[in-house]
Structure 1
């Protein structure tokens, strides 16, 4: 018999799964669940610490990067994300599947054939092995290399476009300092680094991990996350979905067909919604994972503000407005809600700031 749940149940289950109702033990658990946490246009420390059972002091993400519990690299949407070293490789495998460096425009512009990349990557890996090092260190080595000297300038004046394929193939990650100058290092310096697996192993795994964190969901939302986010390719994603269908169960969410992990469907069925108010930073995974077009989380009237990176106010998991800090004031532009005062107190603690709450 097909499970029937309400949308409120489904979102309550997802909030719990994403550690927004019951906090996780450590930052790695949070990031591993979400797959990746954005750095630019967001506040990764707030995103992660809002999901911890014991948030501690500001700077928890920086501390986790420094000791290798997390890594920072180019992945989703061509930008920089904080990722768990145990799972990052699977997503990087998907991002590198398109072999951008083999495009004719790349070959001609960089004067580098696809079959020359393995040798170049080996040079880069050797330089960053004892990192973090500035990109200039790679440039210095390439400048004395007969075949690759012309590419030294891409590192001397760091060309992020050119650096990305090295990150996608697991040769480099960015240095751990969120706010310092650009540095490069080997991902193997992170104790949990598991490497970049074969694409056909990584693909089904990534699909299941998305359903696990963002379910109940649809193939279209998987395509948004792994296709739009990582350019994995629609045909590949359709094939991987078929391969994992045996691990999924179709559920009825107020008449809409969605899919959930079979191993978690009982938990979904017993979930009971509870009133919640959550203040998250802009570009948080709660919004970006399903995407601003998914009206489950982002009603049409809030889509523009979410796309532009405003900080969302969630009421029962749904974007109901925005918030911002101006001087010593927490300004909340959202309908009055019973849980707002308690959540504002939590935000003050997370930010380490004494803020006056102002509402419409």
Structure 2
């Protein structure tokens, strides 16, 4: 089946609630997106609010406190807010890469696989039925001399030693206490938590969820999004192959990729038109396919979106493609279009009103950078 990138972007925009905001609540939006990156909580709130027909301030934080959505280190080692079902689908696959057993990881973070195993067991015991701040958790661990040399790394806000524990389902973030991070176990936070399945059991749901939002895509794109290509290529390809007739291969202007068969006709019938949307920092629209996808973001402009220290800029999406960035200065929404393109002012003003509603401000005035 041959399709165009215009059709792909039109279909994705609908599936991701960009062109058709959802009447549903936070868990459904977060679930459809396979999680929202939550290194910066306000960015995660914005991603959800822009996709909701009735955005509510603090809606994501409330769902995190209720356990209907959970914050944990997941895709690419970054913090995401994800649904329990997504956690059960994606975490086993990420853990199966066993990145903490690789020599480069051990050199960088100073812990052996045996020490990570011991840390996992200790944290599972400490967090059984408990919610602790980072300081409380580290103090409890350091009461055991076996963990003394890990103290500095354990206190680091980057959480490198804690990420393998999150991937194995031993811990997740609990409700924040002011500015202080807390940790607990998924079993304590999430009602009815059943633990993590084996990777081969989890893979079909994980791939289906990803393709349902970011397809058509290749096994390599899925792995790049999930683990920064840490998994064995043969394993990822086998997972795709085992889905059999559930997947349909398509040709997108010369690129071969897979879509869920249940959406193949819908994708082929997708209609294109003029559209302009504003999406926030760290938005899944660009993170799902990845900033290296030149069909979505021209290579010449990648550094304007993917910036220093891992920052992903707020984006202007024109006809499905990334065409600029934006920022807020006082009451102004300042837009920088790529290649000196003129501002699509009328369309921007309409989508700026959605941004204002999502951010809980009265009005934003669009102006060029």
For normalisation by structure 2, the TM-score amounts to: 0.86
Going from structure 1 to structure 2, the CA distance change for 1:205 and 1:178 (only over 3 Å counts) comes to: farther
**3-state DSSP of counterpart to 1:295:** coil
Offset at residue 256 of structure 1 (A) = 3.7
Offset at residue 170 of structure 1 (A) = 0.4
Counterpart position of 2:228:
228
Contact 1:172/1:185, CA 8 A, preserved across alignment: yes
Residues 1:137 and 2:136 are matched in the alignment: yes
Please show how residues 138-287 of structure 1 align to structure 2 within 5 Å. 138-145=137-144, 155=154, 160-177=159-176, 180-188=179-187, 189-191=189-191, 193-228=193-228, 231-287=230-286
Residues 1:10 and 2:17 are matched in the alignment: no
Please show how residues 3-152 of structure 1 align to structure 2 within 5 Å. 4-24=2-22, 25-40=24-39, 43-56=43-56, 58-103=57-102, 114=113, 120-145=119-144
**3-state DSSP of counterpart to 2:351:** helix
**3-state DSSP of counterpart to 2:196:** coil
Residues 1:351 and 2:359 are matched in the alignment: yes
Offset at residue 233 of structure 1 (A) = 2.9
Going from structure 1 to structure 2, the CA distance change for 1:168 and 1:54 (only over 3 Å counts) comes to: same
Contact 1:142/1:151, CA 8 A, preserved across alignment: no
**3-state DSSP of counterpart to 2:243:** helix
Counterpart position of 2:322:
319
Contact 1:37/1:82, CA 8 A, preserved across alignment: yes
Structure 2: which 5+ runs fail to align? none
Contact 1:279/1:314, CA 8 A, preserved across alignment: yes
Aligned CA RMSD, in angstroms, stands at 2.7
Counterparts of 2:259 and 2:108 in 1: how far apart (Å)? 45
Higher mean alpha-carbon deviation, 97-106 vs 12-21, is at 97-106
Going from structure 1 to structure 2, the CA distance change for 1:241 and 1:132 (only over 3 Å counts) comes to: same
Going from structure 1 to structure 2, the CA distance change for 1:300 and 1:113 (only over 3 Å counts) comes to: closer
Counterparts of 1:221 and 1:104 in 2: how far apart (Å)? 25
**3-state DSSP of counterpart to 1:204:** helix
Going from structure 1 to structure 2, the CA distance change for 1:193 and 1:33 (only over 3 Å counts) comes to: farther
Going from structure 1 to structure 2, the CA distance change for 1:341 and 1:109 (only over 3 Å counts) comes to: closer
Structure 1: which 5+ runs fail to align? none
Offset at residue 211 of structure 1 (A) = 1.5
Offset at residue 91 of structure 1 (A) = 1.5
Q: How many residues align?
A: 356
Counterparts of 1:304 and 1:108 in 2: how far apart (Å)? 29
Counterparts of 1:178 and 1:304 in 2: how far apart (Å)? 35
Counterparts of 1:8 and 1:112 in 2: how far apart (Å)? 47
Counterparts of 2:335 and 2:106 in 1: how far apart (Å)? 50
Counterpart position of 2:343:
336
